[in-house]
């Protein structure tokens, strides 16, 4: 699944570590999310979208 995490994270000057801390996951989880190698739970998708001030639908691109 493609996403805009890296792009939005850069917009808010957040490192992967910053986003991980704000969402309660490890940095590696954010790395895998950005690369599209991990499909998040609904809670994690919601938490990431909230931190990045967007909706789940805008953040994750379902093909």
Domains in the chain and their CATH numbers? 2-61 (1.10.260.40)
| Strand ranges, E, within 1-63 | 2-3, 60-61
Question: Residue 33: left if φ>0, alpha if ψ -120 to 50, beta else—which one?
Answer: alpha
pLDDT (0 to 100) of residue 62: 80
Using pLDDT thresholds of 50, 70 and 90, give the confidence band for residue 1: confident
Looking at residues 2-16, what average pLDDT do you find? 97
Query: Is residue 1 within 8 Å of 63, Cβ to Cβ?
Result: yes
- For residue 33, which phi and psi values (nearest 5 degrees)? -60, -50
pLDDT (tens digit, 9 = 90+) per residue, 16-29? 999 999 999 999 99
| Rg of the chain (C-alpha set) | 10
pTM for this one?
0.93
Two structure tokens written together for 40: 């998040």
């Amino acid at each position: 699944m493609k996403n805009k995490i890296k792009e939005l994270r850069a917009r808010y000057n957040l490192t992967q570590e910053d986003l991980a801390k704000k969402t309660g996951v490890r940095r590696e989880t954010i790395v895998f999310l950005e690369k599209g190698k991990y499909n998040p739970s609904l809670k994690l998708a919601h938490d990431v979208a909230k931190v990045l001030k967007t909706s789940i639908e805008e953040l994750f691109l379902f093909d």
